């Protein structure tokens, strides 16, 4: 068993070429085991670009309030305890609400995220 105290977590800025606003991540699992587990913190109004995951993605909201949207759907509000599952290849984005930070755990497998264009303000504010 390995114990990693919270003080040992390394928070790194997420790449600005795939995110709008201030977003930080902390790798929880070793990517060599086939499953990538990240804790991700979004400042209010921050979000990912549109993207897909070859093996899908599961999000578990820890704190704050956020938003998710698929290419063919309305924006959905998410809050602590909510689980969002994006099947393999589903085009989507996620991030914090305009007036609240949000933190979630992200579980992915099956290869690298396929990044696309930024989410426009109109898309972000769509309800």
Q: Give me the residue spans of the domains in the chain.
A: 12-125
CA distance 79 to 25: 18
Sign of torsion over alpha carbons 77, 24, 46, 20: negative
Average pLDDT (72-87) is 94
CA distance 23 to 19: 7
DSSP 86-119: EPTT--EEEEE-TTS-EEEEEEEESS--EE-PPP
Q: Is the model's pLDDT at 109 over the cut of 70?
A: yes
For 115, the token pair is 């990044």
pLDDT tens digits, one per residue of 1-24: 888 888 888 999 999 999 999 999
Pick the CATH number of 12-125 from 2.40.50.140, 2.60.120.10, 3.40.309.10, 3.40.50.720: 2.60.120.10
pTM: 0.93
> In the prediction, which pLDDT does 33 show?
64
């Amino acid at each position: 068993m390995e114990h990693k105290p919270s003080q040992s977590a390394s928070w790194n800025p997420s790449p600005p070429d795939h995110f709008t606003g201030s977003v930080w991540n902390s790798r929880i699992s070793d990517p060599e085991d086939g499953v990538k587990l990240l804790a991700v913190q979004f400042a209010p109004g921050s979000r990912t670009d549109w993207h897909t995951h070859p093996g899908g993605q599961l999000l578990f909201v820890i704190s704050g309030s956020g938003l998710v949207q698929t290419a063919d759907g309305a924006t959905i509000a998410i809050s602590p305890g909510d689980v969002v599952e994006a099947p393999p290849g589903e085009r989507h984005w996620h991030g914090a609400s305009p007036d609240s930070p949000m933190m979630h755990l992200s579980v992915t497998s099956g290869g690298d995220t396929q990044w696309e264009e930024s989410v426009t303000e109109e898309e972000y504010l769509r309800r």
